[in-house]
Amino acid sequence: MNSTSNQNRAKMKNITLFILAGIFLTGCYGGSQGELTGVEGRPGHFQEDPYGMNYIHYGSFTMGPGDQDVPYLHTNRPRTVTVGSYYIDREEISNNKYRQFVFWVRDSIAHVVLGEAGIGEHIFEVDEYGEDIDPPTINWEEPIDWREPEIAEELEDMYLPEHERFYRRKEIDTRKLMFEYYWVDQKSAASKGGRDLDLSYTNILGHNNAITGHTDRSQFVIKEIINVYPDTLCWVSDFVYAFNEPMTEMYFWHPAFDEYPVVGVTWQQTRAFNVWRSRLIDDYLSSSGDAFVNRFRLPTEAEWEFAARGGLEFSPYPWGGPYIRNKQGCPLANFKVQRGDYVDDDGFFTVPVYSYNPNDYGLFNMSGNVAEWTSTAYDESSYEFMHDMNPSYTYDAMQDDPPALKRKVIRGGSWKDIEYYLQVGTRTFEYQDTAKSYIGFRSVMSYLGRGKADDNRY
């Protein structure tokens, strides 16, 4: 026994010495010695979950209706598809979150006006090399005291003119809340000779100015200017013979509706919001020396449905199915019950974004409350030709395109819809330049890598 024990100890000692020798030799490695080692000194990356978002792991599922196609539209034939990992907002974008975007645009305009007037240091007019910056960089540390006489005088043009004021109230002219943003037409670049250009997101942002090839990449960078204020009149225009004037007057700006979903936003406004939201986090990461993350965007139709199902295959609703009520007879979402009972679900119109129980992925109101914009263009036959890996069909319609090309898929049904439209496999559309009182949105962000399960830090 003693001899065997001594032999085991000797073996363990040799193994330990071998490991220590390996560590010592590795620690003394002095860099590449003619070997392929990759670029050294690259920073590590750990992606934190964006605030208010849940992680959805990549997977395959049967996309399309799990029940009868009631209207026999034949626009969503069931098929197996696969989507990559991504983050998605737990809740629909609320009035208060969208208001942060509106206020940012308002304050940006004010900063530029004051900077051009030479009041304070509201904008940085030159960069570190003394070159002009266009558009100017805003100095957000410079406060705006809207009541200070000199500032108020310079910002007078931002308010409604005297003859348009109601009871002489001084209010911001929302028609002037214009947001300038850019997006990259990567599909055109791929098909029209732009393949020799670096059109990566960080490059487009200007953090890598090396351009190769002979094509001017600026032709693929699309500039748009859009008004960001929601269409508050949608409550009146959507329902002609109905009294919804109080909603028009109060819904977006009153604190009572802060946690209700924003409505009256067009598909184009949601894209502008996501560009702003991406730049907001990019600016923070850049200031702290961290690497950028993927941009915020609208979900594809497949991503939306995968998240809405919550892992329940073939289920018609996010909570399971086939019933729309629980055991106590209470509706499980905000929708129009039967032939027109809007209050049986304790809703009437929209409800706060955290209402009802979330699905198994922790997502609220994937059915009901407001229907949600997706990035997918609507085509009746798109299920037949979309790829089965990250399926998506996009078309960037211009203003002069015919209406049929401006259709975007909306999902989930709303407070004014019957239960058929609440099914996770039901698809319908709305036009990208229209704003409705029953359509909102939530954002997604693609995960950097395959998924969390592949990261050994989890």
Mean pLDDT of the region 172-182? 95
Does residue 150 sit within a domain? no
Comparing 360 with 384, the larger pLDDT belongs to 360
- Type and span of the H or E element at 285: helix 267-287
State the pLDDT at residue 256.
97
Q: Is the residue at 154 inside a domain? A: no
The tens digit of pLDDT for each residue in 228-265 reads 999 999 999 999 999 999 999 999 999 999 999 999 99
Decide if pLDDT at 208 tops 60.
Answer: no
Does pLDDT of 346 surpass 60?
yes
Q: Residue 333, SS3?
A: coil
Q: Name the residue with tokens 């900077």.
A: 115
Q: Calculate the average pLDDT of the chain.
A: 86
DSSP E strands in 254-361: the ranges are: 296-297
pLDDT at residue 109 greater than cutoff 80: yes
Looking up residue 385, the CATH number of its domain turns out to be: 3.90.1580.10
Three-state DSSP at 269 gives: helix
- Give me the pLDDT at residue 14, please: 55
pLDDT of residue 415: 96
- The pLDDT score that the predictor gives to residue 390 is 93
| pLDDT (average), residues 190-213 | 49
**Cα separation values, 120 from 103, 114, 145, Å:** 20, 7, 11
Average pLDDT in the 50-72 region? 85
Of these ranges, 181-185, 201-205, 241-245, the one predicted with the greatest mean pLDDT is 241-245
Residue with tokens 């007037």: 117
Q: How confident is the model at residue 31 (pLDDT cuts 50, 70, 90)?
A: low
Q: Which of 445, 53, 442, 51 is nearest to 262 (CA)?
A: 442
Task: Please indicate, yes or no, if residue 425 is contained in any of the structural domains.
Answer: yes
- The residues, any chain, with a CB within 8 Å of residue 312's CB and separated by 6 or more, are 318, 320, 321, 359, 360
**264 is a domain residue:** yes
Given a contact cutoff of 8 angstroms between Cβ atoms, the answer to whether 115 and 136 are in contact is yes
Pull the structure tokens for residue 169.
């109230």
d(CA 282, CA 205): 10
pLDDT digits (tens, 9 = 90+) for 399-446: 899 999 999 999 999 999 999 999 999 999 999 999 999 999 999 999
> Residues 62-82: what's their mean pLDDT?
79
Phi-psi map region of 343: left, alpha, beta (phi>0 left; psi -120 to 50 alpha): alpha
Question: pLDDT per residue over 117-155, tens digit each?
Answer: 999 999 887 777 777 677 778 999 999 999 999 999 999
**260 in Cβ contact with 347 (< 8 Å):** no
Per the domain annotation, does 441 fall within a domain?
A: yes
pLDDT, position 458: 43
Residue 429 CA to residue 393 CA, distance in Å, equals 13
Helix, strand, coil content of the chain in percent (nearest 5): 30, 15, 55
Q: How many folded domains does the chain comprise?
A: 1
Residue 113 within any structural domain of the chain: no
The secondary structure element, H or E, covering residue 439 is: strand 439-440
Query: What range defines the domain where residue 308 resides?
Result: 53-94+229-458
Is 267 inside a domain boundary? Answer: yes
Indicate the pLDDT class of residue 102, thresholds 50, 70 and 90. very high
Q: Which residues contact 230 (CB under 8 A, 6 or more apart)?
A: 98, 252, 262, 263, 264, 265, 269, 435
The confidence score (pLDDT) of residue 68 equals 66
Task: Summarize pLDDT for 266-312 with one digit per residue, the tens.
Answer: 999 999 999 999 999 999 988 888 888 999 999 999 999 999 999 99
The answer to whether residue 105 sits within a structural domain is: no
Find the mean pLDDT for residues 310-316: 91
Residue 82: Cβ-neighbour burial (10 angstroms; 0-12, 13-18, 19+): middle
For residue 68, the 8-state DSSP code is -
More confident residue, 187 or 19: 187
